Amino acid sequence: MRKLLYLTFSMALIAVLATYAMWAADRPAGHYLSDLRINLAVDQGTPADRGNLLGIQPELFPTDYQSPERLHRKLAAYLQKAKDQGLLNEKTIVVLPEHVGTWLMVSGEKDELYQASTLKEAMNWLAVSNPLKFVRALISAEGGNRLDDAHLRMKAKGMAKDYQALFGGLAKEFNVTLVAGSIVLPEPSIIDGTLKIGHGALYNSSVVFSRDGLPIGQPQRQMHPMFAKQDGIKASGEHSLNVVDTPAGRLGVLIGRDSWYPENYRKLDDLHVQLVAVPAYLAGRGTWDQPWRGYRGSSTPASVNLKPGELSEGQAWQHLTLTTQAPASQATAGVSVFLRGQFWDQGSAGQSFISSSGQQFIDANAHGARLLNLWL
């Protein structure tokens, strides 16, 4: 009798595991509708032969990341609109926002993930749908929140491959230099022209792709991520800035809050940078108009006199981003681009802006996808 019970239990367990494995492996493609429209919000300067900075503020949702092909369709539609309006040429530098590549972590998942009502629920579906990858990532996770670290790390190899194929492909397809926003990966580096990952800490990094679709230089790692110890994303210990040469001039990339530190602009001046790209992301609906909360998680630079609460978040971004504000920065032009959209219950804020000749031109209407162009 005991042997029969043991056999019955074993067969039931095998059936449950087999059913779970089949469910986890099933990835049906759900119905997909997405707004491909984009408006030209800011257009400054006069067309010449010096090229232009073109910021793309996309409006993205989880279903846009259901496959790299879907994300390509949307971003290519934005670039095609820019091309139709005469905004693309061989000297164009296109800038995408922070974390536009990070959400590739949810690519190729089950419908339940995209239909989740909260980010926490979506991440639970991500883990339960990829049990082996999640367990391996959890074992090697670092930082104060091992679950968040594991979610970001578990599909890193595929994310890196998709990121390069997608954004390098867009750069080549439209014959432009492309600052591919940012992506969170463990120890990213460019080896023999390919974006590779390591086994160490997670870094929020940006790669610039040339017109032939290949990476230029090494990934720029973020030096001042918010709450680095809590969210598992490590600050770049070297505090180094990678400058790349483009057809439009020498380009530096400051990811998000890195653009708040005057020291970074002095370093870019020493490297003779002419153009600055700031891929940015601001979480929370309405955050742009709420009181600024200061340099959370890090000390305020000695040369910054602003105090938390005395101005809005948006005013702080515009004040602290010093591009073209002599003598703080000797760059001739810059663009700050924010990621917009809705990722489950996580809203977004931020109004993209361009800088030129000591002036800032901001898109007053932050809703929907926007193009911001500056002729150099």
Residue-wise pLDDT tens digits, 97-148? 999 999 999 999 989 999 999 999 999 999 999 999 988 988 888 777 888 8
Is 128 within a domain?
Answer: no
Alpha-helical runs (H) found in the chain: 2-25, 68-84, 111-114, 119-129, 131-139, 146-153, 156-163, 169-174, 228-231, 262-270, 313-320
Is 156 within a domain?
Answer: no
Q: So what's the pLDDT on residue 19? A: 46
Q: So what's the pLDDT on residue 232? A: 66
Q: What is the CATH number of the domain that holds 200?
A: 3.60.110.10
Taking residue 360's Cβ as centre, other Cβ atoms within 10 Å add up to: 17
State the Cα–Cα distance between residues 2 and 19, nearest whole angstrom. 26
Q: What is the mean pLDDT of the chain?
A: 88
Is 256 within a domain?
Answer: yes
Mean pLDDT in residue range 35-60: 94
Determine if the pTM surpasses 0.75: yes
Q: Where are the beta strands (DSSP E) in 254-316?
A: 275-280, 282-283
Q: Which residue has the higher pLDDT, 233 or 6?
A: 233
In this prediction, what percent of the chain has a pLDDT beyond 90? 68
Least confident stretch, 44-58, 97-111, 233-247, 275-289: 233-247
Is 134 within a domain?
Answer: no
Asked whether the predicted pLDDT for residue 16 surpasses 60, the reply is no
Asked whether the predicted pLDDT for residue 10 surpasses 60, the reply is no
Is 177 within a domain?
Answer: yes
Instruction: Using pLDDT thresholds of 50, 70 and 90, give the confidence band for residue 9.
Output: very low
Please list, in sequence order, all residues whose beta carbon lies within 8 angstroms of the beta carbon of residue 176, skipping any fewer than 6 positions away. 54, 79, 88, 90, 92, 93, 94, 211
Is 196 within a domain?
Answer: yes
Number of domain units in the chain: 1
Asked whether the predicted pLDDT for residue 18 surpasses 70, the reply is no
Asked whether 184 and 153 are in contact (CB, 8 A), the reply is: no
pLDDT in tens, 293-347: 988 877 888 888 888 889 999 999 999 997 767 777 889 999 999 999 999 999 8
Q: So what's the pLDDT on residue 17? A: 43
Q: So what's the pLDDT on residue 62? A: 96
Instruction: Using pLDDT thresholds of 50, 70 and 90, give the confidence band for residue 368.
Output: confident
Cα–Cα nearest to 279, from 335, 216, 357, 214: 335
Q: So what's the pLDDT on residue 299? A: 80
Main-chain dihedrals φ then ψ at residue 106, nearest 5 degrees: -105, 10
**Domain range holding 52?**
36-104+165-375
Main-chain dihedrals φ then ψ at residue 215, nearest 5 degrees: -65, 145
Cα–Cα nearest to 82, from 53, 115, 122: 53
Which amino acid is present at 198?
Answer: G
Asked whether the predicted pLDDT for residue 3 surpasses 70, the reply is no
Q: So what's the pLDDT on residue 285? A: 87
Q: So what's the pLDDT on residue 15? A: 43
Is 114 within a domain?
Answer: no
Instruction: Using pLDDT thresholds of 50, 70 and 90, give the confidence band for residue 23.
Output: very low
